[in-house]
Structure 1
Amino acid sequence: MSDAAAWDARYAEGAFAFGEAPNRYLESLLPRLRPGMRALALADGEGRNGVWLARQGLSVTAVDWSTTGIAKARALAVRHGVAPDLVTADLTRWETPAAAFDLVAWIFLHLPPADRAVVAATARRALAPGGLLVLECFSPAQKGRRSGGPRDPALLWTADLVREHFAGLEILECLQGTVLLDEGPKHQGHAEVVRALLRKAP
């Protein structure tokens, strides 16, 4: 079973795996968002973040490799009366427009190191001058917790990895520590994460 097929199976279980509400860290950026901004939601699964961004008046492209996830995202968007551009694609192969987005959301996207480097380069290239990149991912301290995240430690993030992969972007904040997740059945309880907000030079 391919990884995309595994996510199809997970998203086919019925309930939204990570809830319908946006990621809390992304939601905290609301004061920085303006209608008409162009946003890219990477690995957006069932659409909770992309649909929320569209509801704030942003022009949204949301990408995921799960056809089941994208179908649920489309239904969620219809329910909320918004129409983000929903793309089914492998992010390591997706041709991202250069300098096309004012915001890139990298929320709980965990990839093997080589793929992570490819997609991080894609995200940097996709940012328009002055654009923001927001990231929340699990850190190695998450090991043993049941609140979510990959079991393979190579997929986890650290503050140092943020600095390495997004070198050249201005770090507005980069935090590593414990948060309380309440994001659907798959993300519940205390979790160890990295949160980062970065900006491309104007």
Structure 2
Amino acid sequence: MWDVRFAEQEYAYGTQPNTFLQQQIAQLKQGKLLTLAEGEGRNAVFLAKQGFKVVAVDASVEGIKKAKHLAAINSVEIEFIHADLTTFDLGENRWDSVVSIFSPLAETERHHLHQKVVKSLKPNGTFLMEAYTPEQIKFATGGGNDVSTMLTKEQAKRELKGLDFKLLQEIERSVIEGKFHTGNASVLQVIAKKAI
């Protein structure tokens, strides 16, 4: 599905970064940063422009091709890794920050990934995430129709056990990010830190 979506010339989710990420950039710890399910590169490019050493992971070959092109035209260096997040090794105490923007994994896979995120962060490292909540189904403005890929505050608390939540909220906001995320949406926003 993702290779088909990203094979189109147009950037499916645009070339501008996620709004929540832009607003909360100061919360991220400078240094080595991992982006999960990066897609076509919009968030990775933005982060690289802010001075982060970005490693971007995605399962789509076509998405990575477009992300590399976007990085090149913005004159930033990003390490791109083609990998399935369900099997990708995030390492331990490796990242200063990890970012996940609308990474649609089914609940069991997502829970496993989030446990790996906690282990992979360095002490005082930051995890920033925006995800759709199950309430998103009523909006139909992005995120598909599989509720198992959506997340509540309670699920986030369980899945990210070991992190200290600085921000954990479910809100409705306008999401205008390309043709597949356009309109009012129900989202979960997370900023969490690993203890020193």
Equivalent residue in structure 2 for 1:67, among 49, 61, 64: 61
Q: AA paired with 2:26?
A: P
State the Cα deviation string for residues 114-157 of structure 1 (Å, max 9, x = none): 21122111111111110110110111111132310121111110
- Answer yes or no: is the 8 Å Cα contact 1:150–1:156 preserved in 2: no
Flag the 1:182–1:121 CA change in 2: closer, same or farther, 3 A: same
1:184 matched to which residue of 2?
Answer: 178
SS in 2 for 1:194: strand
Q: Which runs of 5+ in 2 are unaligned?
A: none
CA contact (8 A) 1:43 1:109 kept: yes
Please point out which of 105, 108, 121 is paired with 1:114.
Answer: 108
- CA RMSD in angstroms comes to 1.2
The answer for the alignment partner of 2:99 in structure 1 is 105
Partner amino acid for 1:31? A
Q: CA deviation at 1:104?
A: 0.5
* Whole-Å separation in 2 of the counterparts to 1:129 and 1:21: 30
Work out whether 1:150 is the aligned partner of 2:144.
yes
In the alignment, structure 1 residue 91 sits paired with structure 2 residue 85: yes
- 1:110 is paired with a residue whose SS is coil
d(CA) in 2 for partners of 1:168 and 1:117?
Answer: 13
Query: 133, 147, 152: which one pairs with 1:139?
Result: 133
1:33 Cα deviation from its structure 2 partner: 4.6
CA–CA separation in structure 2 for the residues paired with 1:62 and 1:24: 18
What residue identity is the alignment partner of 2:4? A
Q: Distance in 2 between matches of 1:174 and 1:96?
A: 23
Distance 2:42 2:63 in 1: 10
Number of residue equivalences: 196
**Which of 101, 110, 117 is matched with 1:123 structurally?**
117
Identity %: 34
2:19 corresponding residue in structure 1: 24
Q: Displaced runs of 4+ in structure 1, greater than 4 A?
A: none
Which of residues 193, 196, 200 in structure 1 aligns to 2:194? 200
> Distance in 1 between the 2:4 and 2:58 partners?
14
In the other structure, the counterpart of 2:3 is 8
Moved more, 48-57 or 25-34: 25-34
